[in-house]
A and B are shown apart, each in its own frame.
Chain A
Amino acid sequence: MRTARAHLVLIVVAAVLALLLPATTFTGAQSKGTIKIASQSPLSGGQAALGEGIKLGTQLAIEKFKGNLEKMGYKVDLVPFDDQAKPDVGVANAKNIIADKEIMAVIGHLNSGVAIPSSEVYKEVNVVMISPANTNPVVTDRGYPNVNRVCGRDDVQGVVGAEFAHGTMKVKSAYIVHDKTQYGQSIAEFFKADSEKKGVKVLGFEGTEEKSNFDPIITPIKAKNPDVIYFGGIYDQAAPFFKQAREKGLKAKFMGPDGMDSSDLTKIAGKAVVGMYYTSAAGPASALPKAKAFVDDFKKKFGKNPEPYAAEAYDAAHIAILALEQAAKGGKLSREDVSAAVRTTKLAGITGDIAFDAKGDRQKAQYFVLQVASEDPQKWGDNKIVKQLTIAAPGDKKS
């Protein structure tokens, strides 16, 4: 009995090996091991829609561009991490990432408040992070050699918002609400500073962590009757706020940063947000001239439209792969080499031409002002760009 079982085990092991081996031996030259590219974004919770887009964009890029690395003898895998939009979870994941020596690059995060502490961990071992979405200035202003982003910056985005509110919407007064996160508050402060500079009267500046009951915040806003309400934050909080504000009869125009950019905004707030403006450092994939094939591939593979940042994640992962090829030419792959290679990689990506400056900011980032077209969440992709600007990242500013 015992020997029979031992034989069975041997047969099973042999069968498993037989199944596994060809996969690695037929693909090309001798196997040099596995390269893993990690994605870190919220895959659960209120912002999962955007986080999932980052993961899927990364996945698509890896599948499409891994060929060269495979020819060089590497196996390329995606390892998705769920940071739950929480700094502590992001940092814990980051510790796992740096412990896994096969992870050579990180595409993430969605939230600046998560990216900043997590990248402190990446820096310890110099594993490269390319962010598709983190617009907070601090992300690159620390000057880390391994931290890069393919999106724009909040200090510019806040200014773009104020510029549009003053120049195009011709508002005289604004009321600013933010979510007290690193992202929301800082962008709101940039919007405030620039609005005041332009002569727009700021009637109030309020931070709140409230998620459901905005009545007591809305009442003073209504009494002050501003022309525009700017919400520095993310759609899952802004949407109920805007909805309740309209229900209470507020007539002000609504505006926000790229945190508004999700179809869930209209799913939650419905017609309350139709016509509202939001700025973005990431254009909608459907409006990017070179992203057509990407949008088609994405739809075919995942059965839905790419959420915002999916295209940015796709470009970020593409850059990571190009840099990996570059670094792998030396024969031995090290995380430092990959970080250095990313800084010098140039890409004519689907979101435009990408090259990094010395801090890791995209040299010429694009900024968009979009308007919500319909209360139907399915039609979020129809939102039109009403203004588009290409602005260079501000150089080294002493703060």
Chain B
Amino acid sequence: MDLELLVGIFPQVLLDGLVLGFMYALIALGYTMVYGVLEFINFAHSEIFIVGAFVGVEILLGLKGAGLLDALPWVVVLAVVLLSGMAVSGALAVVVERVAYRPLRAAPRLIPLISAIGVSFFLQDAIRLVESVWHNAFNLVYPTMEPLNRRFELTATIDVSVKSLVVIVAALLMLWGLHAVVNRTRIGTAIRAVAEDQAAASLMGINVNRIISLTFLIGGAMGGAAGVLFGVQYGLINPYTGFIPGLKAFTAAVLGGIGNIPGAMIGGIVLGLLEAFAASYLSLLTGGAFGAEYKDIFAFSILILILIFRPKGLLGEIVRERA
């Protein structure tokens, strides 16, 4: 029976892990793009991510209040919410860069890092302030969109919900789009040029500041989209919700090889799968001795092992072809 159970839930755990993994991947892009260009870790990215989730919930609550939530087709609602989350988070990332990082660009590497941590705290409590003034609430709940909650039962124990599929499809589309932009357009070429050598890029007539702003815009927008998807998928957010997923996404970026876009995606998926399998299987395999509470310890132990053997991450070496 036990073996049957272990095998039986495998596809479900795989799916849950993929959903979580794509979420991490989308957030990880923000870390990895900024690192790729500036070699600097934007610790405020976890808050930029959760701001997207808050924009999403505000719009959905507004639509619900106006009675439009069930009247409009869900694809339209979701597209509006996603795009708004992306716009606000992207804009916020640009502002943060302009205010808190650009003045420190010439400073030693640790200084902008501290500034980033400060921005992170500031944003957490700014969100808290705004939400408590508007709603007198700490936890905000995503309104249920029935079509998204529809499930397809594949077997008695396995089912797929529309929103899980939406997360995976949306993440794949965005990752593919970003990959195309970075590798096949003039803007992408400019971003790569700035990442390789800022001085040389500016000699070639590239406006370095604009490209850096653009990098923050794209990374922030991906984070905002991830925030909306996170809210839709898991339903409950508060001003501090972003911190843990942000930290894990950062880990995913390092695991994949920080600075590397496909690496962020692979790192996110590996981490999501590790976490899901650890949470679901640990207590089953150890007879309850180790429960789901050890999922992070387990997942991060494996990460340490991977990084011992591949210190630059899974795809790390490819990016290191600097001149």
Contacting A at CB under 8 A, from B123-165, are 138-139, 141, 144, 149, 151, 153, 157, 159, 161
Within 8 A of A (CB), among B262-316: 275-281, 283-284, 288, 291-293, 295
**A residues 37-60 touching B (CB-CB < 8 Å):** 44-46, 48
**B240 → chain A closest CB, angstroms:** 9
Question: Which residues of B are interface residues toward A (Cβ below 8 A)?
Answer: 5, 8-9, 12-13, 16-17, 19-20, 138-139, 141, 144, 149, 151, 153, 157, 159, 161, 230, 233-238, 241, 244-245, 275-281, 283-284, 288, 291-293, 295
Tell me if A289 is interfacial: C-beta within 8 Å of chain B. no
User: Do B235 and A243 touch (CB < 8 A)?
Assistant: yes
Besides A211-B241, A212-B245, A216-B292, 10 more A-B contacts (Cβ < 8 Å) are A204-B283, A207-B292, A211-B236, A212-B241, A215-B16, A215-B20, A216-B279, A216-B280, A240-B236, A243-B235
Task: Verify A213–B20 contact, CB threshold 8 A.
Answer: yes
Known contacts A216-B280, A219-B9, A219-B16: does B141 contact A48 (CB below 8 Å)? no
Q: Are B280 and A219 in contact (CB under 8 A)?
A: yes
Question: In the complex the two chains form, what is the Cα distance from A44 to B141 in whole Å?
Answer: 18
A223 at interface by CB-CB < 8 Å: yes
- 11 A–B contacts, CB within 8 A, in A order: A46-B139, A207-B293, A210-B279, A212-B241, A212-B245, A216-B277, A217-B292, A220-B281, A247-B151, A248-B151, A249-B151
Determine if A100 is an interface residue (Cβ-Cβ < 8 Å).
Answer: no
Asked if residues A209 and B293 are in contact (CB atoms below 8 Å), the reply is yes
> A206 contacts B291, CB within 8 Å?
yes
Residue from A209, A212, A213, A220 in contact with B9 in the complex, judged by beta carbons closer than 8 Å = A220
Partner of B276, one of A205, A216, A267, A268: A216
Query: Chain A residues near B276 (CB, 8 Å)?
Result: 215-216
Which residue of the partner chain A has the closest CB to B149? A247
**Docked CA distance A180–B293 (Å):** 8
Enumerate chain A interface residues (CB-CB to B < 8 A).
44-46, 48, 180, 204-213, 215-217, 219-220, 222-224, 236, 239-240, 243-244, 247-249, 264, 267-268, 270
CB-based contact A212/B234 at 8 Å: yes
Q: Is the CB of B16 within 8 A of A249?
A: no
State A243–B275 Cα separation when bound (angstroms).
21
Alpha-carbon gap, A208 to B291, bound state (A)? 8
A206 touches B292 (CB 8 A): yes
- Bound together, the chains give a CA A48 to CA B241 distance in angstroms of 16
Separation of A137 and B293 alpha carbons in the complex (Å):
24
Residues of B within 8 A of A220 (CB): 5, 9, 280-281, 283-284
Asked if residues B139 and A268 are in contact (CB atoms below 8 Å), the reply is yes
B interface, by DSSP: helix, strand, loop or mixed? helix
Give the Cβ gap from A196 to chain B, nearest Cβ, in Å: 13
CB distance from A211 to the nearest CB of B (A): 7
Which 8 pairs of residues, A with B, have the shortest CB-CB distance?
Answer: A216-B279, A215-B16, A212-B234, A240-B236, A216-B276, A216-B280, A207-B293, A223-B157
Give which listed residue, A48, A204, A208, contacts B293 with CB less than 8 A.
Answer: A208
The answer to whether A205 and B288 touch across the interface, beta carbons within 8 angstroms, is yes
Give, as a whole number of angstroms, the nearest-CB distance from A10 to chain B. Answer: 41
Judge whether B9 and A204 touch: CB under 8 Å.
Answer: no
Pick the contact of A240: B234, B278, B293 (CB < 8 A). B234
Give Cα A180 to B291, complex, Å.
11
Contact (Cβ within 8 A) A249 B17: no
Q: Which of B141, B153, B244, B277 has the most CB of A within 10 A?
A: B141
Q: Which chain A positions have C-beta within 8 A of B295? A: 216
Contact with A48, one of B12, B16, B138, B275 (Cβ below 8 angstroms): B138
Establish whether residues A216 and B275, one from each chain, have CB atoms under 8 Å apart when the complex forms: yes
Q: Among A222, A223, A236, A264, which residue has the most Cβ atoms of chain B within 10 A?
A: A223
- Chain B nearest CB from A220 CB (Å) reads 5
Which residue of chain B is the closest to A224 with respect to CB atoms? B5
CA distance A178 to B75 in the complex (A): 37
CB distance from A219 to the nearest CB of B (A): 5
- Within the complex, what minimum Cβ distance (angstroms) separates A265 from chain B? 11
Flag if B13 contacts A249 (CB, 8 Å): no
Which residues of the partner chain B approach A248 to less than 8 Å between Cβ atoms? 151, 159, 161
**Cβ contact within 8 Å between A236 and B139:** yes
Closest to A177 in B: B292
Known A46-B139, A207-B293, A240-B236; contact A222-B279, beta-carbon cutoff 8 A: no
Residues in B neighbouring A205, C-beta threshold 8 A: 288, 291
| Interchain CA distance A15-B216 in the complex, whole Å | 58
A235, chain B: closest CB distance, angstroms = 9
